[in-house]
Structure 1
Amino acid sequence: MANKKKTVKRGNNSSSKVVFWTIGIIAVFLLGFIFLGNQSKPVEKAKTNETIDYSNEPFLGKDSAPVSIIEFGDYKCPNCKNFSEEVVPVIKQELVDTGKAKFYFFNDSFISTDSIRSAKFAESVYQELGNETFWKFHDLLYSKQPKDPKYEKMDVYDEQFLVNTLKEIASDSDVNKVVENFHAKKSDAAWQKDMDYAEKLGVSGTPTIFVDGKLFTGSQLQDLIDMVDKAAQQKGK
């Protein structure tokens, strides 16, 4: 995103533009780093093309956006945390806010019991409190991921931890709705839908990205932008 540097002007917001441009440059290189060293699991090689049902899935962007990007992620995955905090904001600026694409999050919970518990709880948040609150919880959950690697496969995201995390962004009555949903296992089917897709698509690690059902195999952010642009052109957009 070299053109970002040229748009920086003096004024009250110039420093914020410089910071975001710098983050964008970091994201270009971080994307390759993440995908080369992503959390892996023993499954078949990912497929390159698949029709996907996006209904009732949390996403960022406009309904009218022609292209759909999916991130398969695990809340206990350190690379997913880095991707969420460093790369997704740039994807949002370059592809989501411009109306080119919607950005979906699908669960691929394989690291530990915590992965499953937190994913199902997040699905309950989505079902009861909606898309906006889901993304707030999603981001907050990643921000609380333990930095010590020894906790990666240990169970530290118990129900009380998840409830306390949600209480930071939701009222007590809303939290109670989510907990009731979670206890009633109403979110299990939505979580299983994601997991079935991860298996069907042969997702071999997190984060893994698909664009309109096609596996993203690039190593730089520009590769993703080009893939989205091509997908949009194929739809006449």
Structure 2
Amino acid sequence: MASNKKKERKPQKLIVWIVSILVICMTALIFISSSSSTVEALNVENQPYLGQDNAPVQIVEFGDYKCPICKNFHEEFVPQIQRDYVENGQAKFYFVNYSFINVDSIRSAKFAEAVYKELGNDVFWEFHHLLFEKQPEDLKYERMDIFTEEFLEQTLKEIVTEEEAGKVVSAFYQKESEAAWNEDMKQANNLSITGTPTLYVNGQKFEGNNYEDLKEIVEEAIEGE
């Protein structure tokens, strides 16, 4: 009887862990309200971004490639942000890593950083969007072998040459993207970020409930420039 109880306890713990991760992602969803905060010096230097260099407003997302809420955000809301503010030169949209779920999150973030370092901003965003597109619909949080090195390399090869992919893979294995990822995590921890996605507009944490609330804070930032 004691042996059976031990066997039953393990899956119960696993279910609790998975539910906990889901709760963290959901409570961090950008359209959930919490306490307001403003960051005086949100550092986006050397971070990948969409938009024009001289765009006056900075929209910064802290995200995790394994978070399904981030996937939804990039599929549903990033195109709206691009259409309403990025394409007309009013805002730049930045992505900063906060890899908190498990080793898959860390591995994919460091690999993406290597893409940015070796192949530049435009290729980074192609790869970035492709990673979210390929995130499994039935994502299992306990698995740590979804975003493997092989998967990441093959995904990159869908958009670049063998030679270009080789440069990225070499940089990744030589840990040349480690410092950039560490800086992202340090900044996220300094901001007390606990989940993804988390948004800042010109240093002000977004605390609204929907896209209209986001538009309001972005337009206030535009008018203030």
TM-score of the two chains, using structure 2 as the length reference? 0.83
Q: CA deviation at 1:224?
A: 1.4
Q: 2:192 aligns with which of 185, 202, 224?
A: 202
Partner amino acid for 1:152? Y
Change (3 A) 1:36 1:226: farther
Within-5 A mapping of 1:194-233: 194-233=184-223
User: How many angstroms apart in 2 are the aligned matches of 1:130 and 1:119?
Assistant: 15
1:97 pairs with one of 87, 108, 129: 87
Identical columns (%): 50
Query: For residue 117 of structure 2, what is the aligned residue in structure 1?
Result: 127
Distance, in Å, in 2 between the alignment partners of 1:71 and 1:131 is 16
Aligned length: 196
Residue 39 to residue 157, structure 1, CA distance change in 2 (3 Å)? farther
SS in 1 for 2:61: strand
1:97-150 CA-to-partner distances (Å, cap 9, x unmatched) read: 12111000000000010000000000000010111100010011111111114x
State the alpha-carbon separation in 1 of the partners of residues 41 and 55 from structure 2. 17
1:153 aligned partner, one-letter code = E
Q: Give the C-alpha shift of residue 39 in structure 1.
A: 5.3
- What runs of 5+ residues in structure 1 fail to find an aligned partner? 1-34
Cα pair 1:74 1:107 within 8 Å, conserved: yes
- 1:59-78 superposed matches below 5 A: 59-78=49-68
In structure 1, what is the Cα distance between the partners aligned to 2:152 and 2:164?
13
> Unpaired runs of 5+ in structure 2?
1-23, 30-34
TM-score, normalising length: structure 1: 0.79
RMSD, matched Cα? 1.8
- Look up the SS of the partner of 1:103 in the other structure: strand
Cα distance change of structure 1 residues 95 and 174 upon mapping to structure 2, 3 Å threshold: same
User: What pairs up with 1:1-237 in 2 under 5 angstroms?
Assistant: 37-38=26-27, 47-149=37-139, 151-155=140-144, 156-235=146-225
